[in-house]
Amino acid sequence: KNEVEQSPQNLTAQEGEFITINCSYSVGISALHWLQQHPGGGIVSLFMLSSGKKKHGRLIATINIQEKHSSLHITASHPRDSAVYICAVKPGAQKLVFGQGTRLTINP
């Protein structure tokens, strides 16, 4: 079993829909990251969380430390949001551990 599990693995939605991507982890962590990887490979860091909630534009990330769970929400989704979204956790001082990613496709 992976230390970081994401769901769903693939998600297709229509433009404008509210999107939720989930990340569960099994170890104690000092921080959790959400990353976005576009076709072609480039990765962009979206959020780094250690508690609570962060918002940036149409993106919202939440984390529940007790339940070892984080969600990434996208409001008013757009085709340009189509990408792979990756959750990564940092168990203390150890290296980042990455989830498999969620492939999101937003159709016009």
Buried b (16+ CB within 10 A) or exposed e, 16-40: eeebebebbbeeebebbbbbbeeee
Tokens of 30: 């000092």
Q: Is 2 in the site for another protein (CB under 8 A)?
A: yes
Of 7, 45, 51, 75, the residue at the interface with another protein (CB under 8 A) is 45
The verdict on 11 binding another protein (CB under 8 A) reads: no
Q: Is residue 83 within the footprint of another protein (CB under 8 A)? A: no
- Of 21, 32, 99, 106, the one binding another protein (CB under 8 A) is 99
27 contributes a contact to another protein by CB under 8 A: no
